[in-house]
């Protein structure tokens, strides 16, 4: 079946179309240029931009796939978590398409979709696998027996998300918002061992993370300097983040005796995280899967991918009165 997925949880209006795990279209409009000068996403501005972008992006995805509305067999949509008003636009649009086309609706979890998307590139997920979800709003280690129906949380950040730490440190360094990609780039010219920044909760025996102490340490360090070599700070900060992330991810694999690790979410686009994870997985005999960077950040294909799994698993479609749930827990795969 052909599944059209709609994503509007933050600033991206994303529409993807898949058949099974074959990606047919992935069209995105972003309102980030409207938020950048505020140093963060402005919810009301994002909602309005989704409203304006929705129809053109859906039509763009159909054109990209060479399909028409009558070819679509099911609609999937991010029902949470995310910005309430932004989610609402996608959910309302998805309900309308579902009703108008007479096809089933699947309300899905954005975080599970960040996991499911890898299948469009690397085929079916091993059951079970360990998934590390690192994004702008979340940092979690998950045991995933079956991404279509069962996601178990093993640990998560107790304060800032990894992406949030990247964005806040970027601001301290005078880099544009969102700062993750800029830190990634700056770090390539710097030394990861130049400054010894703290690794929060590194060996505390939990699978939780903490990044706010690191963020504060970087800010204090920068404040105390006469002049700052941005690449060294970026590289040293980034190393602290990816050192903890990869270490805990492999601890999770060991603890649950799982040999397949997946990394997803926007921070999974980070080049140093990808390299260090590969190095440590090779050493531990763990197979690593990371989607290409364009599938790590928010997009519609990830929603279509999870929707496709729900269809294949025979999951009952969502009712047409499902709400948008801005704080949907990571363990709720679909509603």
Residues belonging to the binding site for substrate are 133-137, 167, 180, 184, 270
Interface segment toward Fe ion; rule CB under 5 A; list 71-79, 159-167, 211-219, 294-302: 294-302
**Binding string, residues 130-169; x marks residues near Fe ion by CB under 5 A:** -----x----------------------------------
Contacting ligand ATP (CB under 6 A), which of 118, 184, 309, 325?
184
| Beta carbon of residue 317, minimum distance to Mg ion (angstroms, whole number) | 28
Residues 280-319 contacting Mg ion, CB under 5 A = 298
Name the residue with tokens 């805990």.
248
Closest CA to 234 of 269, 178, 187, 272: 187
| Beta carbon of residue 135, minimum distance to Fe ion (angstroms, whole number) | 4
Q: Report in angstroms the alpha-carbon separations of 188 from 91, 146, 226, 247.
A: 40, 37, 23, 21
Q: Under 8 Å CB-to-CB from 300, ≥6 apart: which residues?
A: 5, 6, 7, 14, 15, 16, 26, 27, 28, 57, 61
Peptide bond into 126 cis (omega under 30): no
Contacting Fe ion (CB under 5 A), which of 298, 302, 309, 333?
298
Helices assigned H by DSSP within the chain: 32-35, 43-65, 84-101, 110-116, 119-122, 162-172, 180-187, 212-223, 230-255, 271-284, 293-296, 301-312
CB 109 within 8 A of CB 328: yes
Looking at the Cβ atoms of 80 and 155, the one nearer to Fe ion is: 80
CA dihedral (273, 213, 169, 111) positive or negative: positive
| Beta carbon of residue 278, minimum distance to ligand ATP (angstroms, whole number) | 15
Told to check if 163 binds ligand ATP by CB under 6 A, we report yes
Interface segment toward ligand ATP; rule CB under 6 A; list 172-180, 207-215, 250-258, 275-283: 172-180
Q: In angstroms, what is the C-alpha Rg of the chain?
A: 20
The torsion angles phi and psi of 286, rounded to 5 degrees, stand at -110, 135
Told to check if 270 binds ligand ATP by CB under 6 A, we report yes
Told to check if 267 binds ligand ATP by CB under 6 A, we report yes
Told to check if 50 binds ligand ATP by CB under 6 A, we report no
- Helix/strand/coil for 4: strand
Told to check if 53 binds Mg ion by CB under 5 A, we report no
Q: What single string gives the DSSP state of each residue in 187-206? A: HTTS-TTSS----TTTTSSS
Told to check if 246 binds ligand ATP by CB under 6 A, we report no
Looking at the Cβ atoms of 181 and 200, the one nearer to ligand ATP is: 181
Residues 3-32 contacting ligand ATP, CB under 6 A = 9-10
Told to check if 10 binds Mg ion by CB under 5 A, we report yes
Beta bridge partners of 23: 18
| Beta carbon of residue 9, minimum distance to ligand ATP (angstroms, whole number) | 6
Strand order in the sheet with 260-264: 150-156, 139-146, 129-134, 260-264, 287-289
Told to check if 175 binds ligand ATP by CB under 6 A, we report no
Looking at the Cβ atoms of 45 and 67, the one nearer to Mg ion is: 45
Residues that bind Mg ion (CB under 5 A): 10-11, 298
Q: Give the binding site for ligand ATP (CB under 6 A).
A: 9-10, 82, 110, 114, 135-138, 163, 166-167, 178-181, 184, 265-267, 269-270, 297-298
């Amino acid at each position: 079946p052909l599944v059209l997925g709609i994503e509007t949880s933050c600033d991206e209006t994303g529409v993807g179309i898949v058949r099974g795990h074959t990606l047919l279209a992935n069209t995105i409009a972003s309102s980030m240029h409207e938020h950048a000068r505020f140093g963060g996403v402005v919810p009301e501005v994002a909602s309005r931009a989704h409203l304006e972008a929705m129809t053109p992006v859906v039509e763009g995805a159909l054109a990209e796939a060479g399909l028409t509305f009558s070819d679509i067999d099911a609609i999937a949509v991010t029902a949470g978590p995310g910005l309430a008003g932004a989610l609402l636009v996608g959910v309302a649009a998805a309900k309308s398409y579902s009703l108008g086309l007479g096809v089933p609706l699947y309300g899905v979890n954005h975080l599970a979709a960040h996991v499911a998307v890898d299948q469009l590139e690397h085929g079916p997920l091993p059951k079970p696998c360990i998934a590390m979800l690192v994004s702008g709003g979340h940092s979690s280690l998950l045991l995933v027996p079956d991404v279509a129906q069962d996601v178990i949380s093993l640990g998560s950040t107790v304060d800032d998300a990894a992406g949030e730490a990247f964005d806040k440190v970027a601001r301290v360094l005078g880099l544009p918002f969102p700062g993750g990609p800029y830190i990634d780039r700056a770090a390539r010219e710097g030394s990861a061992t130049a400054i010894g920044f703290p690794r929060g909760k590194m060996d505390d025996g939990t699978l939780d993370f903490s990044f706010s102490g690191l963020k504060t340490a970087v800010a204090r360090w920068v404040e105390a300097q006469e002049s700052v070599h941005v690449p060294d700070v970026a590289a040293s900060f980034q190393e602290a983040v990816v050192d903890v992330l990869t270490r805990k991810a492999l601890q999770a694999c060991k603890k649950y005796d799982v040999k397949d690790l997946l990394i997803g979410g926007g921070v999974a686009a980070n080049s140093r995280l990808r390299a260090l994870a590969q190095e440590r997985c090779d050493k531990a005999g763990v197979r690593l899967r990371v989607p290409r960077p364009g599938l790590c950040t928010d997009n519609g294909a990830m929603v279509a991918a999870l929707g496709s799994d729900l269809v294949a698993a025979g999951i009952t479609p969502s009712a047409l009165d499902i709400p948008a749930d801005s704080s949907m827990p990571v363990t709720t795969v679909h509603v």
